[in-house]
Amino acid sequence: MLRDDGVMLLEGTTAIVTGAGSGIGAAAAQRFAVEGAGVVCADIRLARAQQTVDAIVDTGGRAIAVEVDVRSSVQNEAMVDIAVREFGGIDVAFFNAGTIRPGNAVKLSEQDWDVVMDTNVKSIFLGAKHVLPVMADGGGGSIINTASVSGLRGDPSGIAYGASKAAVVNLTRCLATDHAAQGIRVNCICPGVIDTPPVRRMLADDAAREQVGNSNLLDRIGLPSEIAAAAAWLASDESAFVTGEALVVDGGLTSRSVALNMGDPRPR
C-alpha cells in the first residue's frame, strides 16, 4: 500500500493496535498500514477487528484480526505470540483500548472503578509486559499509549476515567525510563474531544456537539484520523528523539484559560 507521495514511515514494520475495531484504534490501524506496517488488529469484538482488517486488505495492506480482552495477561501474551508468528516480530505497539464509566466518588460503583482501571491502565502494563521482551530482542521499538486531556485536568463526573488516564501518563514515563537502554521509546497521546462512538453517544444532539466544539480553539471536535496521524509519527523514526512524552492533541482545548468563561476574545 503506497501513500500518494510514495514515502512510507513504517515500511517493513509490524504493529499491534488494541481497540482496533472502531474510533481511534481503527483509524490508527489503517494509517499504520498505509505507512507500510503489517498490523495486528486486536479488539474484544473480533467481528469489529475483522472489519478494520477488511478495510486494510481491500486497499492492499497487510493485517490480521485477533480477539483480545486486554485485561487478561494470558490473552495479551497470545496476542504477542500471534504477532511474532505471523509477522516475525513487533516494532510498534499502540495500546489504545479503553473505556469510560461516568460518576463521582459517591455515585460510581466499585465495580465500574475496577473496570475502568483494568481496561485503561492494567491493560497497558500487561501489554508492555509481553511486548517489551520481543522488542528488546529485535533491537528496539516504539510503544504508544492512549491517555487523555482528562488525565491532565479534572472533569465533572469523571473520577475513574480521569484517574486512569493520569496513571497512563506516568506509566508511560516509567516505561520510557526503564527501557530506553533497550532502544524502546514509550510515549502517550492525550486526545481532546474526538469524534468516536462513545463521544457521539454522549453528544447525541447538534447543540451539545457545537458547544463542545466551540470549547476548542479550532472550533470543532477532532477526528480519529488526526490522532492516528500523531500515533504514526510517534511510531516512526521521525520521532526518534522523543520518549517519555505526553503529546496533547486537543485542538487547543487545554490552552484556554478559565477566564475565557467571561467572554470569547478570539478574532472572528
Residue 262 has which C-alpha cell?
467571561
Nearby residues of 42 by Cβ (< 8 Å), 6 or more positions away? 16, 17, 18, 19, 20, 49, 65, 66, 67, 68, 70, 79, 97
78: amino acid identity, one letter: A
Return the active site residues: 161
Q: Does residue 235 sit in helix, strand or coil?
A: helix
Residue 127 and residue 78 in contact, taking contact as beta carbons nearer than 8 Å: no
Among 28, 31, 37, smallest CA distance to 10 is for: 37
247: amino acid identity, one letter: L
Nearby residues of 125 by Cβ (< 8 Å), 6 or more positions away? 171
State whether the Cα torsion 96-101-102-107 is positive or negative.
negative
Among 70, 195, 54, smallest CA distance to 39 is for: 54
Among 72, 85, 114, 115, smallest CA distance to 16 is for: 85
Do β-strands 92-95 and 14-18 pair in parallel, antiparallel, or remain unpaired?
A: parallel
Enumerate the β-bridge partners of residue 213. none
Residue 248 and residue 193 in contact, taking contact as beta carbons nearer than 8 Å: no
Among 47, 128, 51, smallest CA distance to 92 is for: 128
